[in-house]
A and B are shown apart, each in its own frame.
Chain A
Amino acid sequence: MTGTGNIVAALPFPTAAKPKLADSQLRDNLRRATHTIRDKRLRTVAELPEWERLRLAGAAIKDDVLARLPELLVEFEAAATAAGATVHWARDAAEACGIAVDLALSTGTREVVKIKSMATQEIGLNEALEAVGITPIETDLAELIVQLAGDTPSHILVPAIHYNRHQIRELFARRMPGVDLDALTDDPAALAEAARRHLRARFFSARVAISGANFAIAETGTLVVVESEGNGRMCLTLPETLISVVGVEKILPTVRDLDVFLQLLPRSSTGERMNPYTSAWTGVTPGDGPQQVHVILVDNGRSDVLADPVGRQALRCIRCSACLNVCPVYERVGGHAYGSVYPGPIGAILSPQLSGAGANATLPFASTLCGACFEACPVRIDIPEVLVHLRQEIVAAAGATPERAAMRAAAWVLRDRRRYSAALRAARRFAAPLRLVGRPDAVRHLPWPLTRWSASRDTPLPARETFREWWSRERA
């Protein structure tokens, strides 16, 4: 079943990228933020001599999970149910939202506190809650900033990466109810304090919390959330009802597997040795924490991804965002250009697979295949390999296009030495008069559609003598 929800880009990538490229403030913010996290990650990863072995271990555990996902999910369901949780299954975004909204409505609440979660972003849960008159309150600072701005996240880990602190101060001053304007400077501590006061009142009144999970342990039915601020833990402990929305690929077989991932994840995402808060909960503990615990296991296209032997490695992803932070394309345009809630290199392979490659057909081409993402990925997802694989699917589905005709013609020429040599000679002869009118070795302006190239660069002309001509003259 094809995935639905916030995973389909409304605009082709080059179109969505255009205004972002023109926004110099945005590019400045992105450059600063990605380079800071990038450098920090490199430093903390370099501290672990066994890093490559950890990556291999992470990939191997995830591959094992993917190889026996159905049995592990059933094992998780049994363990979680035995511990007092209720497990629900959702095939797509609409089903998942329907279950979560019904559960929230049944408590009679008008407000839910939320832990930052990609799964709920993916299924569009906030929109679904608002549609029935329930206000979702994001408690992750960056997610709160985005929510107050009426914006959408532009990064997996740092949803507000496209804002700087001056912009955030202005936003809080205008949109945060009851904010103390005198104390509100653009100092990060002052901004964090304002958010803290704002959220504290919500934590104490909230009766329902909604979370995702970084990991779901099959053998014990345990869910794990990894965070930096502690607001997640407030959500996990104070309300009466907890609803956790979990992608089916989040399963780990045993608690011991966390050993590998709790080393890989913080270093890859924030460049920290250890994240400040790791919370684990297993069903219901009488008299302590939420007494109603629901887990919604979401497929939303993941079974389709699993069926593709090359593409399925995307399901190893632990949402660390290391690939975003090292991606030169992401750095120039930010997350919104990717349309889906999954931006950057992982989004370029995950979104088209979840939605079916017909949608998001420009995303696999939004990469130079430079390989920085694969090198940074803690679970060794060969993103360039999957990008090329998806390009093949998209090209095959596109049928007869001018590009296909050009590629076919070039391949026909290149298949035969005589045709190839003749083409080289023709190109060389064609270039000869151009030398007389312009510069001897390059041209400045090319005709459409090559203006897309020549707008930014001069083009070298074919040489006066090809290499093979020189070789046969000199050596043969």
Chain B
Amino acid sequence: MRIALFITCVNDLVFPGTGRAVVRILERLGHTVDFPPEQTCCGQAHANSGYRAEAMPLVRRFVDTFAGYDAIVTPSGSCTAMVREAYPRLAAGDHGLAAQVAAVAPRVFELSELLVDVLGVTDVGAHFPHRVTYHPTCHGLRMLHLGDKPERLLRAVGGIELTELPGADECCGFGGTFALKNAGVSAAMLADKCDAACGTGADFLAAADNSCLAHIGGGLSRRDGPRAIHYAEILAATKEDS
């Protein structure tokens, strides 16, 4: 199977460790990962802010870049949802593009979908002897319907202690440009999420989206709370690391 990694622009620049973790997990499971260098950004920020025209070239670039692969994995629930849910809508008026999107979009998987649904693995041979709480991000939860796939993967990790996050399904308040346009409401939502995370006594708060994690982690770093971490980095960790 030809697996391509879509790293996402935020991960490429700020959280490259998450991408390295995905590569490490998949190679450990015996798969080869390809990184098409033509990729840039899925266009979510543009599309969700109302800049459809600006997002369209990025839609085209994405489907061109990933056309030949059996599976495209990305460590981001919201970017996966952007491609699978929003691309068909954006491409609706353009028959050629719509056909390209229809061919590529169903083969784009969030990491837990690739591991659990496509590769049939829940134990990826990881070891992470820490107390972890999991925040299921909105796009993963309500657009991709990931269910408990990330938690199933985390439960199989050696040495881990998973602890429930109260109000886990509530939005953290990031919302892309929402955090700037409605800074007050965003900060209020963040404060509640941080309160809940700190109350768990966990060492780490994990999630499937580094943009939400940058927001939550940015709030947590001003408190004596858990550290924000992408769950791929937990799945990549082994006994030798700890």
Cβ contact of B14, chosen from A367, A404, A463, cutoff 8 A: A463
Instruction: Report the minimum CB–CB distance from A134 to chain B (whole Å).
Output: 39
| List of B residues within 8 angstroms of A80 by Cβ | none
A residues 368-415 near B (Cβ < 8 Å) are 368-372, 374-375, 385, 388, 390-396, 403-404, 407-408, 410-411, 414-415
B residues 150-194 near A (Cβ < 8 Å) are 169-171, 173-191
Q: Report yes or no: B182 in contact with A365, Cβ–Cβ below 8 A.
A: yes
Asked if B107 is an interface residue, CB under 8 A from chain A, the answer is no
Instruction: Report the minimum CB–CB distance from A38 to chain B (whole Å).
Output: 10
Asked if B20 is an interface residue, CB under 8 A from chain A, the answer is yes
CA distance A59 to B141 in the complex (A): 23
CB-nearest residue of chain B relative to A452? B183
- What 1/0 flags go to A427-449 for Cβ under 8 Å of B? 11000000000000010000001
CA distance A414 to B10 in the complex (A): 12
Instruction: Report the minimum CB–CB distance from B218 to chain A (whole Å).
Output: 3
Asked if A414 meets B190 with Cβ closer than 8 Å, knowing A457-B218, A463-B17, the reply is: no
Instruction: Report the minimum CB–CB distance from A380 to chain B (whole Å).
Output: 13
Q: Report yes or no: B180 in contact with A467, Cβ–Cβ below 8 A.
A: no
| List of A residues within 8 angstroms of B190 by Cβ | 456-457
Q: Report yes or no: B37 in contact with A468, Cβ–Cβ below 8 A.
A: yes
Instruction: Report the minimum CB–CB distance from B184 to chain A (whole Å).
Output: 5
| List of A residues within 8 angstroms of B45 by Cβ | 407, 410
| List of B residues within 8 angstroms of A68 by Cβ | none
Q: Report yes or no: A388 in contact with B16, Cβ–Cβ below 8 A.
A: no
CB-nearest residue of chain B relative to A22? B184
Most interface-central of A362, A372, A390, A427 (chain B CB within 10 A):
A372
| List of B residues within 8 angstroms of A471 by Cβ | 19, 35, 37
Q: Report yes or no: B13 in contact with A428, Cβ–Cβ below 8 A.
A: yes
CB-nearest residue of chain A relative to B190? A456
Asked if A460 meets B173 with Cβ closer than 8 Å, knowing A369-B48, A453-B183, the reply is: no
CA distance A408 to B49 in the complex (A): 12
Q: Report yes or no: B14 in contact with A461, Cβ–Cβ below 8 A.
A: yes
| List of B residues within 8 angstroms of A216 by Cβ | none
| List of B residues within 8 angstroms of A32 by Cβ | none
Cβ contact of A367, chosen from B174, B178, B221, cutoff 8 A: B178
Q: Report yes or no: B171 in contact with A21, Cβ–Cβ below 8 A.
A: no
Cβ contact of A394, chosen from B50, B177, B191, B221, cutoff 8 A: B50
Q: Report yes or no: B51 in contact with A388, Cβ–Cβ below 8 A.
A: no
Asked if A366 is an interface residue, CB under 8 A from chain B, the answer is yes
Cβ contact of B182, chosen from A14, A27, A460, cutoff 8 A: A14
Interface-located stretch among A151-159, A229-237, A327-335: A327-335
Q: Report yes or no: B13 in contact with A371, Cβ–Cβ below 8 A.
A: no
| List of A residues within 8 angstroms of B182 by Cβ | 13-14, 17, 329, 365-366
CA distance A18 to B184 in the complex (A): 7
| List of B residues within 8 angstroms of A390 by Cβ | 50
Cβ contact of B38, chosen from A332, A407, A417, A467, cutoff 8 A: A417
Q: Report yes or no: A460 in contact with B40, Cβ–Cβ below 8 A.
A: no
CA distance A362 to B175 in the complex (A): 15
Q: Report yes or no: A407 in contact with B49, Cβ–Cβ below 8 A.
A: yes
Cβ contact of A460, chosen from B170, B179, B218, cutoff 8 A: B218
B residues 1-57 near A (Cβ < 8 Å) are 7, 9, 11-17, 19-20, 35, 37-41, 43, 45-52, 54-55, 57
Q: Report yes or no: A453 in contact with B48, Cβ–Cβ below 8 A.
A: no
Asked if A459 is an interface residue, CB under 8 A from chain B, the answer is yes
| List of A residues within 8 angstroms of B15 by Cβ | 460, 463
Q: Report yes or no: B47 in contact with A468, Cβ–Cβ below 8 A.
A: no
CB-nearest residue of chain A relative to B215? A457
Asked if B142 is an interface residue, CB under 8 A from chain A, the answer is yes
Q: Report yes or no: B139 in contact with A407, Cβ–Cβ below 8 A.
A: no
Q: Report yes or no: B175 in contact with A415, Cβ–Cβ below 8 A.
A: no
B residues 40-94 near A (Cβ < 8 Å) are 40-41, 43, 45-52, 54-55, 57-58, 61, 86, 89
Cβ contact of A371, chosen from B14, B50, B138, B185, cutoff 8 A: B138
Q: Report yes or no: B183 in contact with A328, Cβ–Cβ below 8 A.
A: no
Asked if B95 is an interface residue, CB under 8 A from chain A, the answer is no
- What 1/0 flags go to B213-224 for Cβ under 8 Å of A? 011011101100
Q: Report yes or no: B49 in contact with A332, Cβ–Cβ below 8 A.
A: no
Asked if A256 is an interface residue, CB under 8 A from chain B, the answer is no
Q: Report yes or no: A457 in contact with B142, Cβ–Cβ below 8 A.
A: no
Instruction: Report the minimum CB–CB distance from B209 to chain A (whole Å).
Output: 12
Q: A328-B170, A411-B46, A463-B14 are in contact. List 9 more A-B contacts (CB 8 A).
A: A14-B184, A366-B182, A374-B142, A388-B48, A404-B51, A420-B9, A424-B13, A467-B19, A467-B20
24 A-B pairs in the complex with CB atoms less than 8 angstroms apart: A365-B178, A368-B174, A372-B169, A372-B171, A390-B50, A395-B51, A403-B49, A408-B51, A411-B43, A411-B51, A411-B55, A415-B58, A420-B41, A424-B12, A456-B186, A456-B187, A456-B190, A456-B219, A457-B222, A466-B16, A467-B12, A468-B7, A471-B19, A471-B35
Task: Across the A-B interface, give the 3 residue pairs with the lowest CB-CB distance, nearest first.
Answer: A368-B175, A457-B218, A391-B50
